[in-house]
Amino acid sequence: MASHRKLRAAAVVCAVAVAAGPAPVAAWAATPTAAPSATAGADAAARSVTAPSPDPFSGLSADEIGDKAVSATQSATSLRMTGRVVTEGQPLDIDFAVNDRDECTGVMKIKGGTAELRRTGDVTYMKGDETFWRASMSSQGMPEAQIDATIELLKGRWLKIGEGQAGSADLSGVCDLKGLLDDLGKDEEERRGLTRGPDAEVDGTPVATLVKKKDGGETTTVSVSQEGKPYILKMVKAGGDEPGSLVLSDYDKPVRVVVPPADETVDLSKLDQGTPA
């Protein structure tokens, strides 16, 4: 049977990618071009509209609107992230709801495989299909026989990773809303030099669009809500090495995490014995 260290590496390979993915939220110029229809939220294309009257951002520069958007978004107690991020050339589709209590629930898709992830009470649960686990474990160099045995053990079950177990720190970062939002304000220089583009809509909400162009043809567009709090609703990067799109929605809505039944889990510490926990 594979050692739990190898399986841990396999289990967190895409979680690490997810943790890297939301980082673009922290920098305007690093934001992940529109994702394909892997997730519903990412398909909401902005279209040109007339700005609300009166314009809530009247008299403000694009940089000042950006500052207001960062402050508002940092105040969120929960949100949903939907779209596609690219890390090391590998596209990853995500749909996650996260709150400020380090809880989250969602789905990720990579290399044709799908995995669900849930975290609550310092425990993370991950359930992948065979394609997901096989791709993840193969990327870690596991022998085929070990991959087959591990997939058989995990079939239809959730991998349970408790606090302090190998990989738990990586996985907890996926659900760290406070850390994610704190990063928004760290590099003010990245947010400078914005211009305001045509007003648009994201999922029916009117937005102001903030645009930043960089050398090499890379363009980042950030959509800021013109209704209620000026939350960031969408970020799109076109051009560059890692184009992508991320939609942020369901601000301040409850995040309900369902703990899998004990008889449907496999504890990470039990994997060497091949015994479900």
pLDDT digits (tens, 9 = 90+) for 126-144: 999 999 888 877 776 778 8
Task: Decide: 92 and 110 in contact? Cβ < 8 Å.
Answer: yes
Please say if the pLDDT value at position 2 is more than 70.
Answer: no
Among 41-50, 154-163, 256-265, the range of highest mean pLDDT: 256-265
pTM of the predicted structure, to 2 decimals: 0.78
Kindly indicate the confidence band of residue 258, based on its pLDDT and cuts at 50, 70 and 90: very high
Residue with tokens 């992830």: 117
Give the tens place of pLDDT for each residue, 184-235. Answer: 666 677 778 899 999 999 999 999 999 988 877 888 899 999 999 999 999 8
Q: 80: closest CA among 224, 260, 232, 185? A: 232
Q: Is the dihedral of CA 138, 139, 143, 146 positive or negative?
A: negative
Q: What is the largest CA-CA distance in the chain?
A: 66
Q: Compute the 3-state secondary structure of the chain and give helix, strand, coil in percent, each to the nearest 5.
A: 30, 30, 40
Please give the pLDDT value at position 239: 80
